[in-house]
Amino acid sequence: MKTDRFKIKTLGPASLTSPLPLSSEKGDKLFNFVTDAQKVLFNPGLEAYSLGLKEGGIPAAVEKAGPRKKIFFDPAKTTAAIVTCGGLCPGINNVIRSLVMGLHYFYGVPRIIGIPYGYQGLGPDNPHPYHDLNPDKVRDIHQFGGTILGSSRGGQKASDIVDSLVRMNIDMLFTIGGDGTLKGCEAIGQEVEKRGLDISVIGIPKTIDNDIDLIDKSFGFETAFDVASPIIRDAHNEAKGAYNGIAIVKLMGRDSGFIAASASMAMPEVNFLLVPELPFQLEGKDGFLNLLKRRLKAKQHAVIVVAEGAGQHLFESDSEIRDASGNIKHKDIGVLLKERIDAYFKAEQTEVTIKYIDPSYIIRSAPANASDSIFCNRLAYQAVHGAMAGKTRFVVGLLNNQLVYLPIDEVVMRRKKIDLEGEFWFAALQSTGQPFNMG
């Protein structure tokens, strides 16, 4: 593995003294500035560490996030902008609030612009007014879900966006979004570098599905399965309320099943968990429908949790339709399961009662819980520190339980998925009691 794989790009030497009253000495009971030399091991396992020493002399490591003693931007002359893109997710307003508070109170940045409706707000024909953000305007927004700036999907030209940044004299752009947003942020950064401009672009990974690669988790994920857990509890009550009652709960998870699996373990009343990573069949001796029949015969009820991207191979048409962000629009596996289960038991001449519940949009628009709220604050503050130091084209994220800076081009190379051979999935299987394989 290349030792410079995780090197963070900078706009130039940081020569200005930070206004933060921090320390550089141990033992004085003050938080110390972080240096670029402070690294976090990418893989803390002993085997990986030993292999790194053997192959390259230095195991792969990433930059620790935090305030630097020297900064690049003069705070009094700096203009920042914030944009939120993609689907809604708990915690977006928390991140906006903390970015504004950090820029204003830590560094004294005089102007912070809220960009309306995602990257569309930075297009050449933007019809929406910009928002001047300050502590008073964002003071209470963390109590509400959604985003005060609005959001959108869709690809605007990086050149048009950079034209807007230059026209508005923006020095740093904070982008809050998932895989497509981060790819857009990287394209903007490349265009900025091509033009030789001093504009920092920063990504704060937002994906409710927790599918951003390399980082431990993304904000909003914990709130998602926290909100989903009582829904599963109520679905279980519905299933038990009828003889041969079946409750199907469809949760978010386009390509990764982390929410469905986590919610199922948090509320261990789930009997079948279906995720995009798991290949399964409906028919046959070991297929899902036969297993469901055995479950009903033994317990007279069943709860099924399915991620939205699971079982796409079961649909007759394999044609792909994509949304404005380029993501595949999956067909409704929840409806398909309901129809196939109903048809199967009618053929078996067995009476069942099926309840189908899809709470996705309620979960997406929920406010962040306490844990996610703290996490959002920490991500935003470290993003501000990195930007002020002149770092660019990076995301701030949690890696091995430490906040770090990672190059955007590394985290967007692939989607994070459940490892079916890993302990997390094994724990989910133990919770549900379902077989390791279904057909």
Query: Any idea which residues carry the catalytic annotation?
Result: 209
Going 133 to 139 to 140 to 144, the CA torsion angle's sign is positive
Q: Binding site annotation covers 253?
A: yes
Check whether 340 is labelled as a binding-site residue: no
The answer for residues whose C-beta is within 8 angstroms of residue 357's C-beta and 6 or more apart is: 231, 235, 247, 248, 249, 250
Is 179 annotated as a binding-site member? yes
Phi, psi (deg, nearest 5) at residue 101: -65, -45
Instruction: Sort strands 9-10 and 272-274 into parallel, antiparallel or unpaired.
Output: unpaired
101 known ligand binder: no
The answer to whether 359 touches 80, Cβ cutoff 8 Å, is: no
Q: Is 364 annotated as a binding residue?
A: yes
Which of 148, 157, 332 shows the shortest CA–CA distance to 250? 332
DSSP state of 104: I
Sheet order of strands, 272-274 included: 272-274, 301-307, 245-251, 353-357
439 assigned ligand-binding residue: no
Q: Is residue 208 part of an annotated ligand binding site?
A: yes
Q: Are 8 and 382 in contact (CB under 8 A)?
A: no
- Taken as a whole, the chain contains a residue count of 439
Task: State yes or no: 154 annotated in a binding site.
Answer: yes
178 is in an annotated binding site: yes
Q: Is 87 annotated as a binding residue?
A: yes
Residue 27 is labelled as binding a ligand: no
b/e burial code for range 215-240 (CB count within 10 A of at least 16 → b)? bebbbbbbbbbbbbbebbeebbebbb
Q: How many angstroms separate the CA atoms of 403 and 399, rounded?
A: 6
Annotated binding site for ATP: 87, 153-154, 178-181
Binding residue numbers for Mg(2+): 179
Q: Binding site: what residues are annotated?
A: 87, 153-154, 178-181, 207-209, 252-254, 308, 361-364
Query: Binding site for substrate, residues?
Result: 207-209, 252-254, 308, 361-364
